[in-house]
Amino acid sequence: MISIKRVIVALVWLVMLGMPIYVVLNELPPGFWGLADANVIRAVFMRLIGLALFTLITQQILMQEFRPFFSKIMGPYFTKRYHIIVGTFTLLFALLHPILYYVSALAQGSRFLDVASGQGYPWPTRYFYLLGPFSLLILICTALSGLLRRAKWLQKYWYLIHKLNYLLFITAFVHSWNVGSDVQTNQIIRTLWLVYLTVIVLGFINKFVLTKYRARFNQTTASESSNGEPVKPLTAES
Rg (CA), the chain: 22
Query: With contact defined as beta carbons under 8 Å apart, do 211 and 67 qualify?
Result: no
The predicted model scores a pTM of 0.84
Confidence category of residue 234, pLDDT binned at 50, 70, 90:
very low
Cis status, amide bond into 76, omega within 30 of 0: no
Q: Under a CB-based contact definition with an 8 Å cutoff, are residues 47 and 93 in contact? A: no
pLDDT at 178 over 50: yes
Higher pLDDT, 216 or 124: 124
Amino acid at 99: I
| Residue 14: C-alpha distances to residues 9, 19, 81, 125, 182 (Å) | 9, 8, 18, 32, 19
> String of b and e for 159-184 (b: at least 16 CB within 10 Å)?
eebbebbbebbbbbbebbbbbbebbe
Residue 69 identity (one-letter amino acid): F
